[in-house]
Amino acid sequence: SRRRKGNEFSLTTSMATDKSTPEAREGNYNENDVLLGRFKFCRENEGNKRLKGLVHERYEEYESADLKTDYMDVGTKRDKKMIKEEIVASIKANGGRFLRCQKNSDVWEEISQVEAIARVTEELKNLRCHQKQKEVNRHEHKRQKTSHGASGAAVGGDLKESESDHKKCTTDLPMRDIDAANAMLGLAETRSLREANGNSVTRPKAQTPSPELDARSETPPRSPV
């Protein structure tokens, strides 16, 4: 089916609604034809592959037409339509046709020039959507890569800082232990010296009282006169 859009017809995914019979693959078409349909043999026909190749070749030129500005975009529309017409002409110049299989039969019929151009337009739109999604995926991949790189750098910085702290600890701790040991050794040496000095002091010997003094001490005191 199709619906009118301006001065052109737009295919409402005729190849999607087409329920051709399996016998259609044996119909009256050749490998250069573009077959409208969802069947795998339609996509794999050489004419369909050639159409996709031509669309890819002219895609940048087709998109760049939007960069041209003129009154009411008349030039842009004319350039785009010309590109699509040239793609259709290239298919036909190679002996190909744009065919649709009649419902419930194996007979393929050629569609009009307007419908053929609409088919090319559909291919261009599909490619545009694919390119946009591809660009979105590329930016997302780049963003994730940058994010992972930043987090990795942060982790690397933390690891380096931890290694630095570890080296600092392994360097400082022994020094503190040595200082403490030296201080304790100094106190021990000082205490030993004091004790040694105290034992070496000569104390006066106790004097043994003489007999005279003992006698004197034993003589009773005289009573006063």
Residue 176 has a pLDDT of: 62
Rounded Cα–Cα distance for residues 119 and 12 (Å): 10
Rounded Cα–Cα distance for residues 134 and 48 (Å): 23
Residue 2 has a pLDDT of: 45
Rounded Cα–Cα distance for residues 61 and 135 (Å): 18
Write the pLDDT tens digit of every residue in 4-55: 444 444 443 344 444 445 556 777 899 999 999 888 999 999 999 999 999 9
One DSSP character per residue, 106-119 reads S-EEEPPHHHHHHH
Residue 105 has a pLDDT of: 81
Residues 141/147, Cβ–Cβ less than 8 Å: no
pTM of the model: 0.54
Residue 143 has a pLDDT of: 87
Residue 35's φ and ψ, nearest 5 degrees, are -100, 125
Residues of the chain with pLDDT under 70: 1-24, 68-75, 150-182, 185, 187-190, 192-193, 196-225
Four-residue CA torsion sign, 158, 163, 165, 166 = positive
One DSSP character per residue, 43-103 reads HTSHHHHHHHHHHHHHHHHHHHGGG---GGGHHHHHHHHHHHHHHHHHHHHTT--EEEEPT
